[in-house]
């Protein structure tokens, strides 16, 4: 029987359908969240069900910041437990999960069974999250691949601000002083990677490191993060789906009982 995980984040709504016994992926979908998390969750689930060949999941677990707004969810779980479960399923040697989402970043220490041993999250401020890159993307008028391309070749400009709002002012100041956009992009990438490193340094590093969330889609950023951490970093083929996959795995576990 198919089961589903739905992850409604601040930027994207994701859904994954699994077979509850074999845990084989049957379908998946990613859609922009927009202003209505409930509708986005419904649409993502419908799209993933269609992708799986019009199946009706018998159990749905919801996660992400929109998790409580989904009336069809049989179980609500935090994204921390879901990213842990998803990452350990994809890379069984995982001991630490790094997740950078739209509005927060997390470092999660995991057990071999995919459960959470400890975790840390960024503070209220959005610096060091996907939101920070959205700001940069707006100022430089480049999308994530273009930003990555630019950052890979730029000489990182120093970005001192710890706050996404002040960083925007700082970025505009750098551009006004004639600093090339590629150097600004490289500077922002480096500042996010360093914030992640400092968050990760508060959790003991053991096992492999797996990187999930939307920002992991940027090859330039994951290379930089691996270099900053000084360890190789696993990245799933669809890092954005790791949370929804984790939710689907937990749905399968509950549904089988």
Partner 1 sequence: MPFKSLETFNTVTDRNVLALQEAKAAGRKVVGQYCIYSPLEIALAAGAIPVSLCGTKNDSIAIAESMLPRSLCPLVKSSFGFALQDSCPYLAASDIVVADATCDGKKKMYELLNDYKPVVLLQLPQIQNEDAALYWRGQFAGLVARLEKEFSVSISREKLLDAVRLTNRLRRALKGVLDLARRKPSPLSGMDILSLCFRASFMPDYEQCIALLDDIAREIANAASAEAQTECPRILLTGVPTGMGSHKVVQLLETCGARVVCIDNCTCYKKVLLQMDETRDPLSELADRYLATHCSVMSPNPHRYEVLEALARDFQVDAVVDLTWQGCQTYDVESWSVKKFVREKLSLPFLQIVTDYSETDTEQLKVRIEAFLEMLA
Q: Can you list the positions of beta strands (E) in the chain?
A: 2-8, 12-19, 25-32, 60-63, 75-76, 94-100, 105-110, 116-121, 208-212, 233-234
* 48 burial via Cβ count (<10 Å: 0-12, 13-18, 19+): buried
* 40-69 positions binding partner 1, by CB under 8 A: 65
* 186 burial via Cβ count (<10 Å: 0-12, 13-18, 19+): buried
Please state whether beta strands 208-212 and 233-234 pair in parallel, antiparallel, or not at all (unpaired): parallel
Least Cβ distance, residue 136 to partner 1 (angstroms): 22
CB closer to partner 1 out of 224 and 250: 250
Q: Does 91 bind partner 1 (CB under 8 A)?
A: no
Q: Which stretch binds partner 1 (CB under 8 A): 115-123, 133-141, 160-168, 226-234?
A: 115-123
- Site size toward partner 1 (CB under 8 A) is 15
Which one among 59, 91, 119, 211 touches partner 1, defined by CB under 8 A? 119
Q: Which stretch binds partner 1 (CB under 8 A): 43-51, 74-82, 181-189, 240-248?
A: 74-82
Least Cβ distance, residue 185 to partner 1 (angstroms): 28
CB closer to partner 1 out of 63 and 208: 63
Which one among 116, 146, 203, 254 touches partner 1, defined by CB under 8 A? 116
* 54 burial via Cβ count (<10 Å: 0-12, 13-18, 19+): exposed
CB closer to partner 1 out of 185 and 250: 250
| 3-state helix vs strand vs coil in the chain, percent to 5 | 45, 20, 35
* 162-201 positions binding partner 1, by CB under 8 A: none
Which one among 21, 50, 56, 121 touches partner 1, defined by CB under 8 A? 121
Least Cβ distance, residue 54 to partner 1 (angstroms): 32
Least Cβ distance, residue 81 to partner 1 (angstroms): 5
Quote the CA–CA distance of 181 and 192 in Å, as a whole number: 17
Nearest residue to 108 via CA among 100, 119, 117, 122: 119
Residues at the site binding partner 1, with contacts judged by CB under 8 A: 65, 77-81, 104, 115-119, 121, 123-124
């Amino acid at each position: 029987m198919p089961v589903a995980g739905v992850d409604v984040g601040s930027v994207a709504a994701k859904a994954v359908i699994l077979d509850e016994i074999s845990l084989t992926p049957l379908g998946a979908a990613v859609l922009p969240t927009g202003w209505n998390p409930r509708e986005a969750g419904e649409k993502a689930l419908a799209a993933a069900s269609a992708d799986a060949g019009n199946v009706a999941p018998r159990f749905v677990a919801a996660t992400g910041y929109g998790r409580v707004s989904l009336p069809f969810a049989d179980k609500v779980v935090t994204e921390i437990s879901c990213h842990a479960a998803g990452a350990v399923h994809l890379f069984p040697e995982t001991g630490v999960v790094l997740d950078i989402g739209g509005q927060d970043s997390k470092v999660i220490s995991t057990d071999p069974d995919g459960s959470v041993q400890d975790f840390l999250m960024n503070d209220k401020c959005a610096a060091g999250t996907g939101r920070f890159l959205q700001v940069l993307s707006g100022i430089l008028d480049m999308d994530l691949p273009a930003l990555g391309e630019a950052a890979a070749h730029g000489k990182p400009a120093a970005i001192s601000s710890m706050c996404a709002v002040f960083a925007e002012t700082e970025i505009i100041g750098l551009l006004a002083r004639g600093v090339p956009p590629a150097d600004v992009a490289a500077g922002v990438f480096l500042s996010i990677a360093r914030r992640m490193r400092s968050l990760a340094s508060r959790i003991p590093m053991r096992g492999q490191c797996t990187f999930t969330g939307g920002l992991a889609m940027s090859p330039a950023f994951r290379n930089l993060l691996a270099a900053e951490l000084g360890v190789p970093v696993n990245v799933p083929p669809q890092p954005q789906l790791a949370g929804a996959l984790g939710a689907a795995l937990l749905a399968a576990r509950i549904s089988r009982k």
